Amino acid sequence: MACCYQVSLGGGIVAVAASSFPVNSKLKPFPALKAELPKPMASDLSPDRSIFHDASSSNPRRDLVFIVNPRGANGRTGKDWKKLLPYLRSRLDKNCNICESLTSGPYHAIDITREAIREGADAVVAVGGDGTLHEVVNGFFWAGKPVAIHNREATRSTALGLIPLGTGSDFARTLGWKNDPHEAIDRIAKGLRSPVDVGVITGESEEESHYFINVADIHLSAKAGYFASRYKRFGNLCYVIGALQAFMGHKNQDLRIKVNEGEWETCSLVTALCIGNAKYFGGGMKITPNADPSSGNFEVVILQDFKWYDFILKLHRLYNGTHLSVKNVSSRSVFSIEVEDISGSGSIYVQSDGEHLGFLPRKFGILPSAIEMIC
């Protein structure tokens, strides 16, 4: 499926032909950006500075790439995005070049983000839910390192932006943002930046890294997320359906954990283990209520020996973030944690930001201030 890019010319957005990226393949040139985007200029990287240069700059127009999943939320994301374009033009056309890219399938946003950064985009904006944001965040990295801009003289990094339009907007909740795309566009127009932390996940080989900005989780909650992904057409109800399906045949498991490169310890009868860079997951559940994506640490919350009726009786506490005082719930602040299944069954689910990543063992580490975010 061909990918569509649109570039701002004067007072409007004009379609420009562009070839598509093959999913999960060697990256191809980014023709629309190559044709339109000027080389970035050196600028101050300090927080709370605009992504746009002032009018005295030799090139005041900045370059923003909007990555849209048109099929998100059962196609609602694509329809809502089209409705937003007039407002987006009215707020941004005077200051920047607007480049739009519609994803054609899973992982496509990762490839687009990497090439946009290499070509010198000032910001890459995820348009959609937490899944689209997750892919864009992964696109900021390549082979275990941040993606490098082709212009080595540039000192200003590409920022991350977000317009929440999908099924879940859990990361936006942590930042205190309303699920209002017009307010998101206003934030992008102001262009203020702040650094945010990113989590990195490695397996046994540690050769392949995966990144997350919100919450990673293990066992029951991860299994529920895996099943929930099949029912996205039902909106936030998908999380309830996924949880009910995950409970079928569920057994609490003994896990081994190593915190901050210390000694191994055993956690018995683990129901779920959640590693929060941010506070919310599962469509508004405040699972790691003390997590802060600018703190340099995760909050790890472990639920042990929960029965199905515990979730029914304590569900309201999980959603409002008051569950840390509940029996068999523990919390700690860490910068790294390794988790293993003592039984070695290879059947303990792992996910991050709602994306299924496979099974234990896994290691989770924090990358402080890894990305600058428009906020």
| Residue appearing with tokens 């008051």 | 322
* Cα 115 from Cα 96, distance rounded (Å): 19
Residue that is last in its domain, among 163, 191, 219: 191
Residues 129 and 229 in one domain: no
Residues 177 and 303 in one domain: no
Asked if residue 254 is part of any domain, the answer here is yes
Mean pLDDT within 89-107: 93
Asked if residue 23 is part of any domain, the answer here is no
The reported pTM is 0.83
Asked if residue 166 is part of any domain, the answer here is yes
Q: According to the model, what pLDDT value does residue 40 have?
A: 33
254 is catalytic: no
Domain that holds residue 218: 211-366
Express each pLDDT in 292-339 by its tens digit.
Answer: 999 999 999 999 999 989 988 998 999 999 999 999 999 999 999 999
Q: How far is CA 188 from CA 41, 109, 220, 341, in A?
A: 19, 19, 37, 43
Q: According to the model, what pLDDT value does residue 110 have?
A: 98
Characterize the bridge pairing of strands 145-146 and 141-142: antiparallel
Residues 226 and 324 in one domain: yes
Residues 219 and 362 in one domain: yes
Residues 360 and 246 in one domain: yes
Alpha-helix residue ranges (DSSP H) falling in 191-270: 220-228, 237-247
Residues 98 and 184 in one domain: yes
Asked if residue 31 is part of any domain, the answer here is no
CB atoms within 10 A of CB 24: 11
Q: Helix, strand, coil % (nearest 5) of the chain?
A: 25, 35, 40
Residues 241 and 271 in one domain: yes
Model confidence at 89: pLDDT above 90: yes
Model confidence at 186: pLDDT above 80: yes
* Cα 121 from Cα 25, distance rounded (Å): 21
Mean pLDDT within 259-285: 96
- Number of separate domains in the chain: 2
pLDDT above 90 covers what percent of the chain? 65
Asked if residue 49 is part of any domain, the answer here is no
* Cα 374 from Cα 51, distance rounded (Å): 8
Q: Check 80, 111, 122, 130 and give the catalytic one.
A: 130
Residues 173 and 221 in one domain: no
Confidence of residue 41 (pLDDT cuts 50, 70, 90): very low
CB atoms within 10 A of CB 323: 20
Asked if residue 27 is part of any domain, the answer here is no
CATH of the domain at 180: 3.40.50.10330
Residues 112 and 251 in one domain: no
Residue that is last in its domain, among 191, 219, 241: 191
Residue that is last in its domain, among 131, 159, 191: 191
Residue 114: enclosing H or E segment and its boundaries?
helix 108-118
The residue type found at 62 is R
Asked if residue 344 is part of any domain, the answer here is yes
Model confidence at 287: pLDDT above 90: yes
Q: According to the model, what pLDDT value does residue 232 have?
A: 74
Residues 174 and 264 in one domain: no
Residues 86 and 217 in one domain: no
CATH of the domain at 268: 2.60.200.40
Asked if residue 330 is part of any domain, the answer here is yes
Residues 259 and 168 in one domain: no
